[in-house]
Amino acid sequence: MKTKLIMLLLAGMALTTSCNKFLEENPGSNLSLISYYQNEGQAEATVNSLYRRGAPIRYSSTGSYLGSTASINTILTGYFTNSYEGQERVSLFARELTRQQNTNIISPTMNTIWDEGFKAINIANAGIKYIPEISMPNEAKKNTLLAEAKFFRAYNYFYLVKTFGALPLYTLPNENLTDPLYIERTDAAKIYELIEQDLKSAVEVLPAKKFAENGHRITKYAAAMLLADVYLQEGKYADAATAAKIVVNSPHKMTENIDLEQSSAYNLLRKTDDLDEVIYAQEFDETINNSGARTATAFSSSAVSVFTTYSIFERVFGPTKQFLNVYDKKDLRIKPNQFYHWSYTNPINGKTWTSTDAGIWYYVDEQALLTTGRGTKDWNFYRYPEALLTAAESIAKSTGVSAEAAGYLAKVKARANTEGKSVSAYTAELQTLSAENFVKECWKERLREFPLEFKMWDDIVRTKMFPVISTTEAGKVDFVPLIGAKNGSGATFKESDLLWPISPDEIQRNNKLTQNPGYQ
């Protein structure tokens, strides 16, 4: 493991192309760290590599049978399933809440999450240590690269601490075999302190530009959005509101509906990159770095007979019928060909795919589906509605329901309404709610707006409340204490379900690590 970490600092550190859309490559090879960090190009190569390592890949990389590893957290709810869980048993054990008895079987997945996260942290640590020592003609560029490295160190620690809890805390790179690689776990609170420190520093330095206008590099607003997410996860509501409002008051804005069909906001988000709504995204390109199997996972296996572009179609992440009842009948997002779909006719051969279980329309890249088999649509990590909903909830939790908080929630609700109900009408209505009920409305809207971006489990863990979606009444959701509640598959949540196990392989490598309670 130590050798791997050291070599990652010395070899091809950026995933890039000659296409202007992507970050440029400038790798080093077979150098000591001291000799490698000599100029701006080497510093930039270090930071560029972080855009496609560790935590971001957990969300954006999609396999044919497992899907994105981040999606497995949503499967814990029992409201989403993987049709190939007979092979991908980590999904089965997540849905059935039986990971505790199957720690060794899910070990490879946990190994990947742990190893890749710490590799990214190690690279970020190297950048944070050495970039300040490099002489650059542009001091602002140096400070920006340093801030980007801090963003990615924070992002990776945030993903890991949510997954595993207490972690080994590294703030310096492992550069040689004498560096302390195997250390004990540090309390999650201390991990969060470093995350906050890194992100507050990044917010102060990074450019106040929209993501697309900044060459698809991390901005002040991306760092502020991540910081708001961190504060929300910690229950620091006043701080979360402050950070979220940096984004709310930025040049970013909601995508508007042109119509309620193929030019709805949700279809524009599905088809179009670089919208002002997108705060931070992962770039994809047809020839250098395509989106893998994402479009093929938007259908069931019967689509193989309808399309020729993918050899495998599998619904590896799909909603149950119960989950779809989270939407009321006036909600645009539940209409066919918005977030979900049940039928698609191939315009080339006239064959039709149909399913009684919803596929994910939001994942469909039609050019890839019909002609190339290589998706180019970017993956959106953070969108403007999340800033609005985070600000709304945090204001209500810290200072009470106000016109400001109600207005933020109202904007998200109004965009999804098919009957033309206005933002002002929603705002007036929401202001009459108690703080408790207003916050629950924020939770419901997060369920409806972000189910396909793998944020549901984070909300459940931070609130310790589980959404019970009615099986008979569309749009009706109650919340009950998480521990002791039954998930959508009828399994009962235990305290040990809040965290994943540390891989037994990792514990064998580092005997200072202890396993999370409840696991073998």
Q: How distant, in Å, are the alpha carbons of 3, 173, 400, 511 from that of 177?
A: 8, 11, 54, 17
What was the pLDDT predicted at 24?
44
Residue 70 has a CB neighbour count (10 Å cut-off) of 23
Correct CATH for 2-205+500-509 of 1.25.40.890, 3.40.50.1000, 3.40.50.2000, 1.10.10.10: 1.25.40.890
| pLDDT at residue number 33 | 57
CA distances from 332 to 262, 328, 338, 420 (A): 12, 9, 7, 11
Place of tokens 């918005």: 338
The pLDDT score that the predictor gives to residue 151 is: 98
Round to whole Å and give the CA distance between 121 and 113.
Answer: 12
CA-nearest of 416, 380, 382 to 266 is 416
For residue 400, give the nearest of 433, 366, 359 by alpha carbon. Answer: 433
Tokens of 344: 């698609």
State how far the Cα of 35 lies from the Cα of 16, in Å rounded to an integer.
23
CA dihedral 181, 187, 193, 199 (to 10 degrees): 60
Q: What is the pLDDT of residue 178?
A: 65
List the one residue out of 317, 316, 314, 318 whose CA is nearest residue 301.
314
The candidate with the shortest Cα–Cα distance to 277, out of 440, 449, 480, 393, is 449
Buried b (16+ CB within 10 A) or exposed e, 41-54: ebbbbbbbbbbbbb
Residue 488 vs residues 150, 457, 492: alpha-carbon distances, Å: 38, 13, 10
Per-domain residue ranges of the chain = 2-205+500-509, 284-377
Residues 6+ apart with CB under 8 A from 436: none
Contact criterion met (CB below 8 Å) for 497 and 97: yes
**Helical (H) or strand (E) element with 49:** helix 40-50
* Rounded Cα gap, residues 338 and 358, in angstroms: 11
Tokens standing for residue 413: 């609700």
Determine whether 79 is exposed, middle or buried from the number of CB atoms within 10 Å of its CB (0-12, 13-18, 19+): buried
Which parts of 165-206 fold into alpha helices (H)?
188-205
- Residue type, position 198, single letter: D
Token pair recorded at residue 286: 């047809």
3-state helix, strand, coil in the chain (%, to 5): 50, 10, 45
What letter would DSSP give residue 103?
A: T
Specify the pTM. 0.94
- Structure token digits, residue 428: 């007036």
- Is residue 432 classed as helix, strand or coil in its secondary structure? coil
Crossing angle, helix 435-449 and helix 384-398, to 10 degrees? 160
**CA gyration radius for the chain?**
22
Residue 494 DSSP code: -
For 513, left (φ over 0), alpha (ψ -120 to 50), or beta?
A: beta
Count of alpha carbons within 13 Å of 316, Cβ hemisphere only? Answer: 26
Nearest CA to 276 among 158, 384, 377, 367? 384
Per-residue pLDDT of the chain (520 residues; tens, 9 = 90+): 444 444 444 443 433 333 334 554 333 333 345 557 888 999 999 999 999 999 999 999 999 999 999 999 999 999 999 999 999 999 999 999 999 999 999 999 999 999 999 999 999 999 999 999 999 999 999 999 999 999 999 999 999 999 999 999 999 998 876 667 789 999 999 999 999 999 999 999 999 999 999 999 999 999 999 999 999 999 999 999 999 999 999 999 999 999 999 999 999 999 999 999 999 999 999 988 999 999 999 999 999 999 999 999 999 999 999 999 999 999 999 999 999 999 999 999 999 999 999 999 999 999 999 999 999 999 999 999 999 999 999 999 999 999 999 999 999 999 999 999 999 999 999 999 999 999 999 999 999 999 999 999 999 999 999 999 999 999 999 999 999 999 999 999 999 999 999 999 999 999 999 999 999 8
Quote the tokens at residue 475: 């749009």
Query: Residue 132: phi, psi to the nearest 5?
Result: -60, -20
- Residue 312: CA atoms inside 13 Å, Cβ hemisphere, count? 15
DSSP, residue by residue, 458-489: HHHHHHTEEEEE-SSSTT-EEEEESTT-B-TT
Element (H, E) at 266: helix 265-271
**Burial class (CB within 10 angstroms; exposed 0-12, middle 13-18, buried 19+) of 210:** buried
Pairing of the two strands 352-360 and 379-383: unpaired
Which of 97, 110, 197 lies closest to 159 in space, CA to CA?
A: 110
pLDDT of residue 34: 56
Question: Under a CB-based contact definition with an 8 Å cutoff, are residues 391 and 384 in contact?
Answer: no
